[in-house]
Amino acid sequence: MKIVIAIDGYSGTGKSSTAKQVASRLGYTYIDSGAMYRAVTYYFLSNNIPFKKIDDLKEMLGACDISFEGTSVVLNGKKIDAEIRTMEVNHNVSPVSAISEVRAKLVEQQRKMGDNKGVVMDGRDIGTVVFPDAELKVFMTADMDIRAERRRKELEKRGIIESLEVIKENLKERDHIDSTRKDSPLVMASDAIEVDTSGLTLTQQIDKIVSMAESIIYEN
Ligand code: DC
């Protein structure tokens, strides 16, 4: 049988890289829910929509169509993989994802993507809100210094040079906003398994989650 795997946790704990490989090893579909929040953020920023000042964003959101082509994120027909990973988006994505209208739209779309199971989705509220019945829920954590260094390297690979201090401040600020927002705050689901990735390599993280998944898949 096919299952749903929910991977939640703080920014920079390696959720996306891990989830992508876990999906590929199991022949499942990988869905990066954070990329969807980033796409909405990019949509607001690039169209100069003052999202902090508008009370009813429903109409604006109606014109914002987000989809995936493989693992690429597509906004209104245009691939925007690089555009959603800038520091400008990093600074605005947590306030945008605290907006309930944004969450309602994306959660509905995410649930549809999981209808046929066989998906690995990573984010902040996947095990608590999007798929509360997911067969496997993982909550990833890691030391702040390690998370910041991983994020610095990831930005550097894409030609963006940023100091560890600035990155750390951004991670802390996002952790704070993500965990204290009213709608779907980042919390570990009571039935999630915590995986601290501080001392693990990417391969070890992937192996660990694949073996948890396989034991559930073959048990059923
Ligand atoms: O996973 P990420 O760092 O790309 O996510 C970017 C932001 O999107 C994160 O700071 C909070 C928000 N997010 C969310 O609120 N809910 C999700 N399921 C995924 C991401």
Residues with CB under 6 A from ligand 1: 11, 33-34, 37-38, 93-94, 97, 123-126, 174, 178
What does the mean pLDDT of the chain come to?
94
What is the secondary structure of 104-147 as a DSSP string?
HHHHHHHHHHTTT--EEEEESSIIIII-TT-SEEEEEE--HHHH
Radius of gyration of the chain (CA): 17
pLDDT tens digit sequence for 120-164:
999 999 999 999 999 999 999 999 999 999 999 988 998 999 999
Nearest alpha carbon, ligand 1 atom 18: 123
- Give strand pairing partners of 195: 140
Query: Which is the CATH superfamily of the domain at 4-217?
Result: P-loop containing nucleotide triphosphate hydrolases (3.40.50.300)
pLDDT of residue 149: 94
pLDDT of residue 214: 97
Nearest alpha carbon, ligand 1 atom 10: 94
pLDDT of residue 89: 96
**Could you tell me how many helices (H) and strands (E) the chain has, helices first?**
8, 8
Question: What is the Cα–Cα distance from 190 to 216, expressed in whole angstroms?
Answer: 18
Tokens, residue 79: 């691939």
The DSSP symbol for 11 reads T
pLDDT of residue 191: 97
Question: What is the Cα–Cα distance from 207 to 80, expressed in whole angstroms?
Answer: 30
pLDDT of residue 55: 82
pLDDT > 70: what percent of the chain? 100
Burial class (CB in 10 A: 0-12, 13-18, 19+), 136: buried
Helix (H, G, I), strand (E, B) or coil at 163: coil
Do residues 162 and 152 make contact, with C-beta atoms less than 8 angstroms apart? Answer: yes
Domain-wise residue ranges, the chain: 4-217
Which candidate, 216, 196, 214, places its Cα nearest to that of 204?
A: 196
Nearest alpha carbon, ligand 1 atom 14: 124
Pocket residue to mutate for ligand 1, from 45, 88, 93, most atoms within 8 A of Cβ: 93
* pLDDT tier for residue 220 given thresholds of 50, 70 and 90: confident
CA 57: distance to chain centroid?
22
Pocket residue to mutate for ligand 1, from 80, 94, 97, 175, most atoms within 8 A of Cβ: 97
Nearest alpha carbon, ligand 1 atom 2: 34
Burial class (CB in 10 A: 0-12, 13-18, 19+), 3: middle
Pocket residue to mutate for ligand 1, from 13, 17, 30, 33, most atoms within 8 A of Cβ: 33
